[in-house]
Amino acid sequence: MRNPAFLILAAPLLVATVAAQAADIRVEHIWARASAGGASTGAAYFSVTNGGQPDRLVAVATPVAATAELHETTNDNGVMKMRPVGGIPLVPGQTVTLAPGGYHVMLMGLKAPLTPEATFPLTLSFEHAQPVTVTVSVQAMGARGGMGVSRP
């Protein structure tokens, strides 16, 4: 028979651990633009705030695309270039915003067009924090920012 005293003493520790992990990473303003016609690519954007130890966003995944990668757009002497990045540093107490023209999630091999008002899941993986799955809200093609769903 299990020792009930152990369960009573251990339960608060388990709850505290889960709450600390959820409180370390906050993801807000989660959105994507609708894709054009038969386009096989898209992008997703959000803000992520790190409330814990130094960390890095290292990967993303979604069932709506064959591949999802972290990318960065840079201006190289007037030429805009986009390239994959191995991770995005998350400094404690600071917010990193993934937005058009900077860091973003590149969705390649879309399985269906992204249509306005649709939603889809996106899982963010970190070097230290537990993975976080968020809901991306698809906005119109010309959208500039999200009224998307937030998740602590």
pLDDT tens-place string over residues 87-98? 999 999 999 999
Residue 19 has pLDDT above 70, yes or no: no
For residues 134 and 24, give the distance between their C-alpha atoms in angstroms, rounded to a whole number. 15
pTM here is: 0.78
Residue 2 has pLDDT above 90, yes or no: no
